[in-house]
Structure formats: structure tokens, C-alpha cells
Amino acid sequence: MLRLAVLIFGVLLLVGSAITAAYGVPVAPPWLLVGGGLITLGTLCERVFYKPLLREKPGAGWVRTEERFIDPYTGKMVDVFYQPTSGDRQYVSHGPDR
């Protein structure tokens, strides 16, 4: 819900940039364009960089860490696994949904 609101805000800034440019306002369009572009792009790219939760433990070579937390989005307990050779981390969820 918050993600959608932020995305709408970024798009509104981009639209505002186009409208103010059409009316010939000299200062507002660049700032609205940069702000709206950063907010929109950041919100859309956030899903690419966020690691998804796995349902099963990763394969051989992965070590379970002491880290555990409750994912605020799903309400499930999450275990963190670490691969010493590459430094990668995987997040494995278990438990009932909210």
C-alpha cells in the first residue's frame, strides 16, 4: 500500500513537471522531473534488489546464521543462510501466514 502511494506520488511529480514546462515555468520542471524520476525509478527498481523469501533451505554450501526475524510483509519467521565462498545471503521463510 505504501509502495503504491510512493509510486503515485513520483508519477504525479513527473506529470507536474510536464504541466509546468508546458506553461513555461522556468524553475519548477527540472526539480519536479529529477525528484519524480528518482522516486519513481527507485520504487520500481526496489523489487529487483530486494531478495525474495525462499520456501526451502538452499542447497549444499549454505550455512544457517543466528539471524532470525519476522518478515513484516508476510508475518512469517525468516532464517538467514550465508554462503562463505561467495558472501551471498538467502532468506528462508517458514511458519503460518498472518
pLDDT score recorded for residue 25: 85
Please check whether residue 83 is in contact with residue 61, taking contact to mean a CB–CB distance below 8 angstroms. Answer: yes
- In total, how many domains does the chain have? 2
Residues 32 and 45 in one domain: yes
The whole domain housing 26 covers 2-49
pLDDT score recorded for residue 62: 93
Residues 37 and 71 in one domain: no
pLDDT, block means (10 residues), the chain with 98 residues: 88 92 86 91 78 83 92 85 90 72
Residues 68 and 86 in one domain: yes
pLDDT score recorded for residue 48: 66
Residues 7 and 42 in one domain: yes
Interstrand relation of 53-54 and 89-94 (parallel, antiparallel or unpaired): parallel
pLDDT score recorded for residue 76: 87
Residues 38 and 60 in one domain: no
Residues 14 and 33 in one domain: yes
pLDDT score recorded for residue 47: 66
pLDDT score recorded for residue 81: 93
Residues 39 and 64 in one domain: no
Distance CA 71, CA 54 (A): 12
pLDDT score recorded for residue 96: 61
- Cα separations in angstroms, 17 against 35, 39, 46, 53: 10, 14, 23, 37
First vs last Cα of the chain: how many Å apart? 17
Residues 12 and 29 in one domain: yes
